Every structure is written in structure tokens, then in C-alpha cells.
Structure 1
Amino acid sequence: MMPKGLVLFGYDKPNRYSWSILMGYLESDSILMEQYSFIPLPFHLYKSHLHKEYFKKIDFTQFDFIILAFSFLSAQIPQYEEFINEYKRFFNKIHPKIITVAGGPHAAASPEELVKFKIDFIIPDEGEYAFSSLLHLLLKKPKEIINTTSVPGLARGYPKYVPATKPNLVEIGKYPPFSKKFRLFGPIEISRGCPFRCKFCQTGNRADKMRHASVENIVKWVKLASEIKFDKVWFLSPNSFGYGSKNGVTPNIDAIYSLLSKIKAISAIKGIFFGTFPSEVRPESVTRDVLEVISPFVTNRKILIGAQSASDRLLRSIQRGHTFEQVKKAISLLTEYKFNIELDFIFGLPGENSEDIQDNIKFFNEILDGKYKNVKIHTHTFMPLPGTPFSDEPIGKIDHEILKIIGKLAKDGKAFGEHLSQAGLVQNRYSKK
């Protein structure tokens, strides 16, 4: 008789898309669905007495082992560390066989760092194949004798780090991007990976090209979502206007038209959100042709663009791959097609000088003066991320003149964001309290 396992996975707002996609993949495996139970572990329980009441509802004795699985951002490390320190003994009391697994952006960038938390297995790349393979192995043998080098994409953590071999990559769109069984839903993933090497970003420094789901598969999953009574659809992509593109930038007009027109034809779908969070757009991908194609189909009248800075010098320095003139051209085209625009800006980037700051201020003043009535700034402060060229740089400092003008923009409803918490000027949601 095969053993039974329980997977408790840390489910929080920044991680929910990853888990929706992963659970959709696992759901297609009948053996795993038969031998495992899966329960989300809300992150807010980490700092609350509520966990005791929560776990009273679970009969842990019916399981042969328990897996604590986490996918987290670098910013969530303090929260995870607090959880481990506070509840380690608690979990050891509820079951003698506890297995820990970690993945996500931080595991991808700094897998060895996780060994200090005594994590048993680390998945430093795409998790579908590695995690499902690990679950199968744990049904056959104890964690101590599993040879991680035999599983592509799986690293050994505690007691001694063994790097992962090259991962097996799944075909994007082949499996459902959400879990009907576990009611975990998110945007439909249409592309994965990025061909750019922005020095502040983990995505492009992990995957050198975009992989796209086929129109047929995307439409299939949207139809399934509509049958579950979902009537609106969002998409997940590093650059939604790059869907189907060979280089990830130049819009594939035919692919975008085919995708949106076929989804629009699904009678139960009442809203299509394309080019907005969580699938921003690169400015050079905004063309007249793509706006002609999307305008009849999309519900959103707002497009999110990654600008990052108004300084061409700084854009070159951080390897963005576009100019600010291209940002302004995108604004002009989007305005012509009656779209509002949100621009991502990052303050305190490494190497930022007074001239770069003045370029930002000049552009922000133009917004205040009414030149760009339909533009809003989404504010960020530079935060060093493991696995990027800027990983060893200090957290960005925001110039006082920038703070003043952002305050004016915010008062006028022209700016919003977490730049203050990211700069440490106010408490952020992942700080220890």
C-alpha cells in the first residue's frame, strides 16, 4: 500500500499565481491526486495564534509524512525566517516526518542561502517537473536517500547543498494554468521568460527567451474557466504585446488578433484585460498596428508600461534596451487610441546621478502641468535582488526633490506605489513587527 502525504503550501498574495499554475499542473497527475492532500497555508497565520485553531481542523495522523512547501520572493525571507523560528517545534510535535521544499524567485537566485534554514529540497528554476517528480519519489523512499541529481531541476538543501541539474521545461499552455480542483485561480499564463538583461530584474537573468502558449491551448483554458462561472480574463506575461513574437518585442499581430478574437467569441466572457497588470508592456512594443488589433476586444482602457526612468543615460546603464523617446512615443500612440497609461518608475537605481534625477523631475512637472493628462506614475524604490548584476548594491535612496514632486503627483491622483516602504521610510508588509 502506497503511503499518504500532506502538502501544506505557503499561499500569499505575491505567490498566488505561481501556486495556481503549479497546482493546475499537479492536478493532471492522478497518482499524486490519489496519494496526497494539498492544503494552502495562509501567510497571515505566520504571525498569529490563529494557526493553532487552523491546524485543529486537520487530522495529521492519517498521513505518513508532511511536506511544507514554499515559494517566496527575496522580500519575504524575513517573514519566512520568523515562521521557521517560531513554528519549527510546533510542526515537529504534530508529525515525526516533516519535509521542507522551497522554490520561487529567491530560490532561483540564491539557492545555497536557503540551506541555513535547513530546507531539505530546493527548486531553483521552473517547478512543475521537479516538484511533481519529488512528490513521486517521496512515495517510494525517505527523503534522506533521494538522489537529487537524478531529477532535473531539483537541488539538495540540508544537510549539504547539492546543486540542481538543468531543469526540464514544460510546454507553456499544455496544462491548465489554474486549479479547478483546489479553487486556485489567477491570470492565464500566455508567455514565460524574457530576452532582456535588465540589471535590476531576476526574470531576464534567468531565462534568455520567451516561450509562448498556443492560441488553441489558451482558448481551451479560458473556456474551462468560463464553465466554472468566471466571466473576466487577465493574462500573465513579461510583455503582453510580445505574445507570439520570436524576439519577445516585435508584436505578432496575427497571433494577438487570433488570441483576442477567439476569446471574445466565448459568450460567457464579459471582460478581457490585456496589457495591464500582471502583464505589462515594453514601450517599443506599442505600435499603431497592435493598438488597432486590441482596441475592439479589450475591456481595459489602461495600459501598464515599464519605463523605469526618464534618463536615457540611466536606461542604457541598467540595460533596459529602450529609450525614453520610445516611452513618449508609446504615450502618444496610446493617447490617440484613448488609453490611459501607467508608467513604472524606479528611484535610487545604482549609478543614478543628479542629471538623471532632473530628467525625471522635468517629466513629472510636465504631467503636473497637464501635458500628459492620461499618465499616472507607479512608483518603486530600487531593491537589490539576488541573481542580478545589481545584487550587491545598496537599497536605493530617493532624492528629496523626487519625494516632493511625487507627493504633488499623488495629491493630484497622478502617482501611487510602495516607494516609501521599499526605501525603508515606512514599514512594509514583510517587515518584522
Structure 2
Amino acid sequence: MLAHFRWNPRNRYSIAALGAVLDFDLAKRPEDGIMLYSFASPQARSIFREVKAARTDSVFIAGGPHPSGCPEETLEYFDYVVVGEGEEALPELVRVLENGDDASRVRGIAYKKDGKVVFTPKRENVDLDKYPPFKPPLFGPIEITRGCPWNCAYCQTPRLFGHKMRHRSVEAICKYDKFYEDKRLVSPNAFAYGSDGITPNEAAVERLLKSLSGNIYFGTFPSEVRPEFVAPKMLELLNMYCANKELHLGGQSGSDRMLKAIHRGHSAAQVLDAVELTHDAGLTPVVDFIFGLPGEREEDQQLTVDSINAIIEEGGKVRAHYFLPLPGTELAKTKPEKISPEIDKLLGKLALGGRLTGSWSDIKVLKKNK
């Protein structure tokens, strides 16, 4: 059977990474054979509709954040779910299906048998050095780290990839240096490279950055940096070796009460300290905040608005997000808190003035609450 990967711009990083371990072509609609999908929660409904309406002779396999977090729901539409990392499980599952063998021997998947969901034994986390970040002509950023030791209640990263940070070695990263003039290095916390994710390892970061050539983008979207990891030495390394003039920081809330509730592990003051250090180093801080966290009160929202105003006054930028409960997280089954009319008005003024940006759910949902 031919394997086809459903193309979508939002899953291009997954396609590039899995293209290094499996041969497939790209499809813009379901086709006969093995159909592969990777998607996050915002895309789930449209993908489920597409698969349900398909009139093809296909075996449908799903992976990625949403299927891994909601395998039971996904198996209402798909034949198999790869739970967690796909570098080992997906190629093995495809080979088994092509040979007509028993899929139950493949670890790290879920499927239905006699109407019940079956989970095969979990796999060990992959060694990043064994698997390329991409295979030309499919290109993606260079993923340098997986996993996170923190346990933020809204975040899927530790649930998908574990609480122990795994780093691609400098030697392995440098193998892909030649493919780009502009290098984008992806990590859940760029300044944690080479460390346990709790205590920074400045020497490891310097060794990585000085080993690369061209234009290096480090600590920028789709990566970010935890605010307590921002220190003068790290910023000095950024200015010395990197091309980016912005640094993306995960702030999440201006309320210490909410930061504690979501197990964030840093204070609101540390966010503003990181902003000031970043600005003083000649870089533009770009800070993410989440509104509508479960249990958030109007006074918490006001504290976040106060932080936003302070960051803007410091010359920074802010990205506002409206809380979306993600499957597999502590807050998976909760509902977003509404934005108070007064706070919504303040955010609307900032957005209209071009001082606040966000994703589709951010401004759209904020406007719905008016």
C-alpha cells in the first residue's frame, strides 16, 4: 500500500521530521492506501469531518498532539493512533500494515478491537541523535531539545515528550548546518539547551552557537525562553552569535496567584525583570500571555494588563492568547474563564492600536465576550 501524508501548512514540521524515517507522498485529500495525519486540537474537528466523509479504500493513521491526548475520540474516525513520538512507531506500523501482519505487536499505538480501545506497551523516548530533524527536499527547523521538567497545567509538552529534557548533540545539529543560511533552532526553552531544564548551562549554549554558521535564530518563535533563564551572559551570547533581534518569552500571567495555580514555576516580577534585561541588551522582548485560565478573576486579568502595559512601555511586544484546554493536560476538561467587559475594552484598545497581537482564538474569542 502507498503511504500518503495529508498536507497542511500547520503540520509541515511533522512532515519534515517523519520524512526522514518513512517514504510517503503528500496528499491534499484522502487517497487510497495508508493515509497519515498529524494535527493539533484546533484542526481536529475539520479533520474528523474529512475522514468521516472519505470514500476511499484507506487505512487512516493519526498522530500528533490531539490524537495522542485524545486517542479514544480519534479512534472514532481513525483506524490507528500513534501515541507520542512517531519516529519509531510510525514506520514500524506502516511496515506491519503493508505486510499484512498483526499491528498489536507495535508498541506505542492505540486501535480498536471488538469495539474496545487497545493500547500497546509504551515506547521509550527516542534518542534525537538517531533521527534527522528533516530529510531534503522536505525541510523544517532543527529541533534541538524535547521534553520539559516543568509541569505547567495547560501544556502538552511534558505529557507528550516526558519531563526529562533530551538534547540533540552539537555534532548532530551541525550535520544540518549546511542546508540553511538561516538556521531556526526549536526548543521548548532555548536557553535550557544542554541542561536539565532547571539550571541553565551557559557553556553548552555557547558551544552550540559558536559551532554554527550563517544566520542563527535562537529563542524566537516557534521557540521561546523561560523568563528566569534570561541572564546577562545568555543575552551576550545571543548578541554575539545570533541574527535575531527579538527574544520570545513565556510570561503567561501577570498574577502570581495564577502562575502558582498553573505550576508555572516563576513569578510575575521575573517576567518583567527578563523584559528589562532583554531591552537593555538591545533586543526586543516578545512576551506571551494567556487570558481566561480556569479560576482567573478580574483582578488577575487586571494584573496581566498592567504587566502588558509595562512591557509595552519598555519597548516590548505582547502576544495575547485565550486559554484553550488541551487534551492530556491537567486542565483538559476545564472551561475558559470569561474576560470581564472592562478588561476586554482595555485589550481591544491595545489590539486596535497595533500593540497587542495574538492567534485566531485570542482576538476572536475576546471579541465574542463583548
TM range (shorter): over 0.9
Amino acid at match of 1:185: F
**Residues 1:407 and 2:363 aligned together:** no
**1:73–1:425 Cα change, 3 Å:** same
Distance 1:377 1:85 in 2: 39
Structure 1 stretches (4+) deviating beyond 6 angstroms? none
Aligned to 1:237: 187
Q: 1:132 Cα deviation (Å)?
A: 0.9
Q: 1:423 Cα deviation (Å)?
A: 5.5
Distance 2:177 2:145 in 1: 15
Where structure 1 has 5 or more consecutive residues not aligned to the other structure, the ranges are 27-32, 46-50, 61-65, 93-97, 427-433
Contact kept in structure 1, 2:143 and 2:187, CA below 8 Å: yes
Aligned to 2:258: 314
Distance 2:225 2:311 in 1: 20
Once the two structures are aligned, what percentage of the paired residues are identical?
A: 40
Aligned to 2:363: 420
Equivalent residue runs for 1:73-152 within 5 Å: 73-86=40-53, 88-89=54-55, 91-92=56-57, 98-117=58-77, 119-141=78-100, 146-148=102-104, 150-152=105-107
**Number of equivalent positions:** 365
Match of 2:120 among 164, 170, 174: 164
Aligned to 1:254: 203
Distance 1:422 1:193 in 2: 30
Q: 1:163 Cα deviation (Å)?
A: 0.8
**1:110–1:424 Cα change, 3 Å:** farther
Distance 2:233 2:93 in 1: 46
* Rg (Cα) greater in structure: 1
Match of 1:18 among 10, 14, 18: 14
**1:353–1:396 Cα change, 3 Å:** closer
Match of 1:395 among 325, 332, 336: 336
Distance 1:425 1:399 in 2: 12
**1:354–1:422 Cα change, 3 Å:** closer
Distance 2:240 2:73 in 1: 49
Contact kept in structure 2, 1:155 and 1:165, CA below 8 Å: no
State the TM-score, normalized to the length of structure 1. 0.80
Equivalent residue runs for 1:49-68 within 5 Å: 66-68=33-35
Distance 1:253 1:106 in 2: 34
**1:25–1:416 Cα change, 3 Å:** same
Q: 1:178 Cα deviation (Å)?
A: 1.1
Where structure 2 has 5 or more consecutive residues not aligned to the other structure, the ranges are none
Contact kept in structure 1, 2:97 and 2:103, CA below 8 Å: no
Distance 2:337 2:93 in 1: 39
Contact kept in structure 2, 1:364 and 1:405, CA below 8 Å: no
Root-mean-square deviation (Å): 2.0
Per-residue CA shift, 1:373-401, capped at 9, x if unaligned? 2x111010001111111111113422222
